[in-house]
Amino acid sequence: MAETTTKAVDLRDSGGLPSHTYAFYALRDLHPGEVRELLCPEDPAVLMQSVNLQLRNRLYWAVVRAGPPLWRLRVQLREDLPAASLTDLLTRDHARLDRLLACALRLANRNQLTEAEPAVGELSRAVRRHIRVENEILAPVFSAPRNLLGNDPTSIMLREHEQILEQLSLIESCIAGGAETRSNTTPLLALLSGAMAKHEHREEQNLFPNWNRALALGTDADGTAAFLRRVQSALADRETTEEDH
């Protein structure tokens, strides 16, 4: 992605605000393609870890020049960088889905259901795309052993995908319905939020490490990079072929 902006933020100009708060406000609205140059009068390691945690690990930073007396950092969104691994790529997409769901839920909680409707639409498209990638690209490639009881990680993932898709369809029909039906949107979004959090955690713990290992064993660095590009394009709804690169 092309870089669009480089803006300097000097923590010495915080106007009495704690450095952490000033940095948080300066970095929370960072957009894709944007870069902030951060000037820190103290070692920024702890401060950046803390701000990044608040921003759900969306940030990537590099120390351009180390202090004392002044540290100069280059900060951008992690999503602007090529994924370091399959786990990294999928975990980033989980975080994106969580943000879309939080946005829809925030609007619904305020009873702004007209504004929530496009947010639900965007969420639905992104979740369906993510599930399609996991079901149709990743699960077939990394066919892990399944068991008859259906409690292996792949079977659990596929079953939970069905449940999530059913929940999504119900939410879509509620928010598109009359006033009485619409009022069910908020509790259903809250239920989906809980289901998604558990599902994503299970995948990140039980499934993605296995897929990562299988990918590393199955191909070399170039093959891995090409596969990650394919998955990234599919998650962004831009299916590519090897000829595109």
d(CA 198, CA 105): 17
- What minimum distance in Å lies between the beta carbon of 161 and Fe ion? 6
Q: What is the largest CA-CA distance in the chain?
A: 63
Nearer to Fe ion, 22 or 208 (CB): 208
- x-marked contacts with Fe ion along 34-73 as a string, rule CB under 5 A: ----------------------------------------
Q: How far is the CB of 160 from Fe ion (least distance, A)?
A: 7
Burial of 128 (0-12, 13-18, 19+ CB in 10 A): middle
Contact 30, 5 (CB under 8 A): no
CB of 198 to Fe ion, least distance (A): 11
* x/- letters, 122..161, toward Fe ion (CB under 5 A): ------------x---------------------------
Q: Judged by CB under 5 A, does residue 117 bind Fe ion? A: no
C-beta closer to Fe ion: residue 117 or 203: 203
To Fe ion, the closest distance from the beta carbon of 90 in angstroms equals 6
- Which conformational region is residue 111 in: left (phi greater than 0), alpha (psi within -120 to 50 degrees), or beta? left
Calculate helix-pair angle for 153-175, 113-132, nearest 10 degrees: 150
State in angstroms the smallest separation of the CB of 127 from Fe ion: 9
Q: Is 117 or 134 the residue whose CB approaches Fe ion more closely?
A: 134
Taking the alpha carbons at both ends of the chain, their separation in whole angstroms is 15
* Sole residue written with tokens 């079953």: 159
Binding residues for Fe ion, how many (CB under 5 A)? 2
Closest to Fe ion by CB, 198 vs 245, is: 198
Residue 63's SS3 state is strand
Nearer to Fe ion, 86 or 120 (CB): 86
Min separation Cβ 167 and Fe ion, Å: 13
From residue 183 to residue 222, the character string flagging contacts with Fe ion as x (rule: CB under 5 A) and all else as - is --------------------x-------------------
Which own/partner contact pairs does 126-129 have at CB distance under 8 Å and 24+ positions apart? 126/96, 126/97, 126/100, 127/97, 127/164, 127/168, 127/196, 128/165, 128/168, 129/234, 129/235, 129/237
Buried b (16+ CB within 10 A) or exposed e, 17-38: eebbebbbebbeebeeebebeb
Q: At closest approach, how far in Å is the CB of 171 from Fe ion?
A: 17
- Give the binding site for Fe ion (CB under 5 A): 134, 203
